[in-house]
């Protein structure tokens, strides 16, 4: 994707966060922002689903943020939050973050929430990410929903299909869970929430491994791209202020790089679908 405008005029800012925190299986997601940018060059501008072109939208890619690494993962995540606070200052813009592993969603959500107070969090993921502590970490990829739940009561998960015994109690009693076979329920849920803004997070393992192969923790029986489009159609009637794509692992993506390309497609369709909202 190209820049169609400059930083000042941009309605959408794209920000890479090439950070991978606690790795419990296969390293690689820190490389995703550069691969997703590279394979975005395969993508055509016009959206078949939303009848609009990227060329009509002012977007600007500011590149990757600087990440001050600390020996302690939790401190590094806090450093990411502080840096994002310097970038997220314009309430007329929307923000797209490219991870990185899912831990980057915690500082991104908190930095967005500092500016857009009244925030709903929607989690598209195979995993519940509801661990309070995970291998002694509180800001890892497995704690995302649990940490965010400390800042908003309005959390919706879609596509979760595996759970750890340590997190299932919290998940079932605190999170609104929507099954892939019942996505239209999202509309009903949102009608009953008064909050104005939405943060949408896409863990690429939300998709079935046959759709998104290059992920660190694949779980079968996942989503197809049409499920994602169905969600975007519903959300196009709401103000989705921020979107992230996380957990693409380019080291597992060779030789096709289909998963990196899928992530770029998801970003394109998010930008176009959310730009339709005009209230
Ligand atoms: Mn996941």
**pLDDT at residue 1 in the model:** 62
pLDDT recorded at residue 187: 97
| CA 207 to ligand 1 centroid distance, Å | 10
Looking at residue 5, its pLDDT comes to: 77
Ligand 1 centroid–CA 33 distance in Å is 17
Tell me the per-residue pLDDT of 131-185, one tens digit each, with 9 for 90 and over: 998 888 889 899 999 999 999 999 999 999 999 999 999 999 999 999 999 999 9
CA of 111 to the centre of ligand 1 (A): 22
Sequence-ordered list of residues with C-beta below 8 angstroms from that of 97, at least 6 positions apart, any chain: 15, 16, 17, 104, 105, 108, 242, 243, 244, 245, 246
From the CA of 123, how far away is ligand 1's center (Å)?
10
In which element (H, E) is residue 146 found? helix 144-148
Q: Can you tell me whether residue 156 is helix, strand or coil?
A: strand
* Gap from CA of 154 to ligand 1 centroid (Å): 20
- The alpha carbon of 102 and the centre of ligand 1 are apart by a number of angstroms equal to 7
Element (H, E) at 155: strand 155-158
CATH architecture of 12-275: 3-Layer(aba) Sandwich (3.40)
Task: Using the mean position of ligand 1's atoms as its centre, give its distance from the Cα of residue 222 in Å.
Answer: 11
The structure tokens listed for 185 are: 């329920």
Ligand 1 centroid to residue 72 C-alpha, Å = 22
Quick one: pLDDT at residue 24?
Answer: 66
Q: What pTM was estimated for this model as a whole? A: 0.96
What separation in Å is there between the alpha carbon of 88 and the centre of ligand 1? Answer: 26
Question: Which residues have CB less than 5 Å away from ligand 1 (the ion)?
Answer: 125-127, 203, 205
> Which residues does the chain have with pLDDT short of 50?
none
Q: Cα separations (Å) of 81 from 18, 145, 194?
A: 13, 16, 26
C-alpha 52 – ligand 1 centre gap (Å): 30
pLDDT in the model for residue 7: 86
246 CA → ligand 1 middle, Å: 9
Do the strands 119-124 and 155-158 form a parallel or antiparallel pair, or are they unpaired? parallel
Among residues 223, 226, 232, the alpha carbon closest in space to that of 203 is found at 223
- Going 126 to 128 to 134 to 138, the CA torsion angle's sign is positive
CA 165 / ligand 1 centre spacing (Å): 16
Q: Report DSSP state, residue 30.
A: G
The confidence score (pLDDT) of residue 279 equals 60
Give pLDDT, residue 3: 67
Give the pair of three-digit tokens for residue 120.
């709903």
Question: 127 alpha carbon to ligand 1 midpoint, in Å?
Answer: 4
């Amino acid at each position: 994707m190209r820049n169609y405008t400059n930083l000042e005029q941009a309605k959408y800012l794209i920000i890479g966060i090439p950070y991978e925190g606690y790795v419990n299986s296969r390293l690689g997601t820190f490389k995703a922002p550069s691969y997703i940018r590279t394979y975005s060059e395969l993508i055509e501008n016009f959206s078949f689903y939303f009848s609009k072109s990227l060329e009509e939208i002012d977007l600007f890619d500011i590149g990757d943020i600087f990440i001050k690494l600390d020996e302690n993962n939790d401190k590094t995540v806090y450093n990411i939050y502080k840096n994002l606070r310097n970038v997220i200052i314009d309430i007329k813009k929307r923000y797209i973050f490219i991870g990185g592993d899912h831990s980057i969603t915690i500082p991104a959500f908190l930095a967005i929430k500092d500016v857009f107070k009244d925030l709903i969090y929607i989690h598209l993921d195979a995993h519940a990410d509801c661990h309070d502590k995970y291998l002694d970490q509180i800001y890892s990829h497995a704690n995302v929903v649990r940490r965010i739940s400390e800042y908003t009561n309005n959390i919706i998960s879609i596509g979760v299909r595996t759970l750890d015994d340590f997190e299932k109690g919290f998940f079932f009693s605190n999170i609104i869970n929507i099954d892939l076979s019942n996505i239209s329920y999202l509309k009903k849920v949102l009608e009953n929430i008064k909050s104005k803004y939405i943060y949408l997070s896409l863990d690429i393992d939300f998709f079935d491994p046959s759709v998104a192969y290059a992920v660190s923790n694949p779980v079968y029986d996942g989503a197809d791209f049409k499920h994602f489009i169905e969600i975007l159609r519903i959300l196009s009637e709401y103000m989705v202020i921020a979107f992230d794509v996380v957990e693409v692992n380019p080291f597992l993506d060779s030789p096709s790089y289909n998963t990196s390309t899928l992530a770029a497609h998801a970003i394109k369709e998010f930008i176009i679908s959310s730009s339709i909202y005009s209230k």
